[in-house]
């Protein structure tokens, strides 16, 4: 079977070029979209992602601030940083890089971010808006998956989408986005018995659990579309997906690689959400 590899960069660049144009127009109105990224501690992967976000934002003419604090920070101190950013008129988007140290309650932090600046789309108000099919800031990885499928001409309506993983960041919201676009959705997770029974029925399979090579050819229907959201870092420095790519290359009709598949889309949709937040501000002034 001819398998199309769904690289993220062509889709990401297409969106980033459009965003760059919008940023230029906003700057003509004296608005420079700005994201403030809060990072706690020295988790190496998080440090890398935050650097990539800043570089990508600046490349399209946005501003990006990184607010770095020690891993010993208290929850109250972190809440105060968020309050400050909520009131900063120059910050359009706020992102707190996850994971956070264990003394911090993630929910308390994410709920403190103003829903209008919640460019990660993790605030319950944005999650709720997504669930009822309203306009919202959609979480960046699921949003990126939808845009990536669209870029490669895949219509999800009436398709059976099986999602492995039920995290707030990827699994749950991507299922809701699929439902909103008329897909039939099945969720699988760590307690699902006979995972393969479900995954092998998928027209579109999305795997987001962070377990290297969990899914192989035996788990996938021939000709299915496979989206791999896994990023497992190996001691060698290699990053592996949740799907055994080599095993599926002649078996799936479309498949994302890891790296360079969904990853670049996550960053792009963060830029998209921040520009959207800045545009809303401009429209409020009308």
Annotated binding site for NADP(+): which residue ranges?
A: 165-167
Kindly report the backbone phi and psi dihedral angles of residue 53, in degrees, each rounded to the nearest multiple of 5, phi listed first.
Answer: -65, -45
Positions in 32-51 near ligand LMY7XDAE (CB under 6 A): 48-49
Is residue 97 involved in binding ligand LMY7XDAE (CB under 6 A)?
Answer: yes
DSSP annotation of 99 reads P
Shortest distance in whole angstroms from residue 158 CB to ligand LMY7XDAE: 29
Contact 7, 38 (CB under 8 A): no
Please select the residue that binds ligand LMY7XDAE; options are 22, 259, 281, 282, rule is CB under 6 A.
259
Is residue 245 involved in binding ligand LMY7XDAE (CB under 6 A)?
Answer: no
Sheet containing strand 225-228, edge to edge, reads 4-5, 254-255, 225-228, 204-207, 160-164, 184-188
Shortest distance in whole angstroms from residue 162 CB to ligand LMY7XDAE: 21
Closest CB to ligand LMY7XDAE among residues 33, 144: 144
Residues 6+ apart with CB under 8 A from 220: 199, 200, 202, 205, 226, 248, 251, 252
Give exposure, 51-70, as e/b (b: 16+ Cβ within 10 Å): eebbebbeebbbbbeebeee
Is there a catalytic annotation at residue 97? yes
Judged by CB under 6 A, the number of residues near ligand LMY7XDAE is 21
Is residue 12 involved in binding ligand LMY7XDAE (CB under 6 A)?
Answer: no
Is residue 136 involved in binding ligand LMY7XDAE (CB under 6 A)?
Answer: no
Positions in 185-204 near ligand LMY7XDAE (CB under 6 A): none
> What is the signed CA dihedral for 45, 50, 55, 59, rounded to 10 degrees?
120
Is there a catalytic annotation at residue 53? yes
Cα radius of gyration (the chain):
19
Give 244's strand partners: none
Is there a catalytic annotation at residue 155? no
Give the Cα separation of 71 and 91 in Å (integer).
24
Is residue 267 involved in binding ligand LMY7XDAE (CB under 6 A)?
Answer: yes
- Helix (H) and strand (E) counts in the chain: 10, 11
Is residue 231 involved in binding ligand LMY7XDAE (CB under 6 A)?
Answer: yes
Q: Given 34, 117, 118, 120, which residue is catalytic?
A: 120
Is residue 255 involved in binding ligand LMY7XDAE (CB under 6 A)?
Answer: no
Query: Pick from 40, 43, 126, 137: which is nearest to 81 by CA?
Result: 40
Tell me which residue has its CB nearest to ligand LMY7XDAE: 263
Is residue 272 involved in binding ligand LMY7XDAE (CB under 6 A)?
Answer: no
Give the Cα separation of 86 and 73 in Å (integer).
19
Please select the residue that binds ligand LMY7XDAE; options are 33, 165, 173, 263, rule is CB under 6 A.
263
Query: If you write DSSP's letter for every residue of 134-164 in order, what string do you get?
Result: ---PPPHHHHHHHHHHHHTT---TT-EEEEE
Is residue 260 involved in binding ligand LMY7XDAE (CB under 6 A)?
Answer: yes
Contacts with ligand LMY7XDAE by CB under 6 A lie at 48-49, 95-98, 120, 140-141, 169, 231, 239, 258-264, 266-267
Q: Give catalytic residue positions.
A: 53, 97, 120
């Amino acid at each position: 079977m001819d398998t199309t590899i769904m690289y993220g960069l062509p889709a990401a660049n297409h969106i980033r070029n459009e965003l760059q144009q919008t940023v230029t127009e906003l700057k003509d109105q004296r608005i420079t979209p700005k994201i403030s990224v809060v990072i706690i501690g020295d988790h190496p992967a998080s440090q890398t992602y935050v650097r990539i976000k800043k570089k990508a934002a600046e490349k399209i003419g946005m501003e990006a601030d990184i607010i770095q604090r020690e891993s010993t920070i208290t929850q109250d101190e972190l809440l105060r940083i968020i309050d400050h950013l909520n009131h900063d008129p120059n910050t359009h988007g706020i992102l707190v890089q996850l994971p956070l140290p264990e003394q911090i309650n993630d929910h308390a932090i994410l709920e403190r971010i103003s829903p209008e600046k919640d460019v990660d789309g993790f605030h319950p108000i944005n999650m709720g808006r997504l669930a009822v099919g309203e306009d919202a800031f959609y979480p960046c990885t699921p949003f990126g998956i939808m845009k990536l499928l669209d870029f490669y001409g895949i219509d999800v309506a009436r398709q059976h989408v099986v999602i492995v993983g039920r995290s707030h960041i990827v699994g749950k919201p991507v299922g809701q986005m699929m439902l909103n676009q008329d897909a039939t959705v099945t969720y699988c997770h760590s307690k699902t018995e006979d995972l393969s029974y479900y995954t092998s029925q998928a027209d579109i399979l999305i795997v987001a659990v962070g377990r290297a090579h969990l899914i192989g050819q035996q788990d996938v229907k021939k000709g299915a579309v496979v989206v791999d959201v896994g990023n497992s870092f190996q001691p060698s420095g290699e990053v592996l997906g949740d799907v055994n790519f080599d095993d599926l290359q002649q078996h799936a009709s479309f498949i994302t690689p890891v790296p360079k598949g969904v990853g670049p889309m996550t960053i792009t949709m963060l830029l998209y959400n921040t520009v959207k937040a800045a545009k809303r501000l401009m429209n409020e002034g009308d």
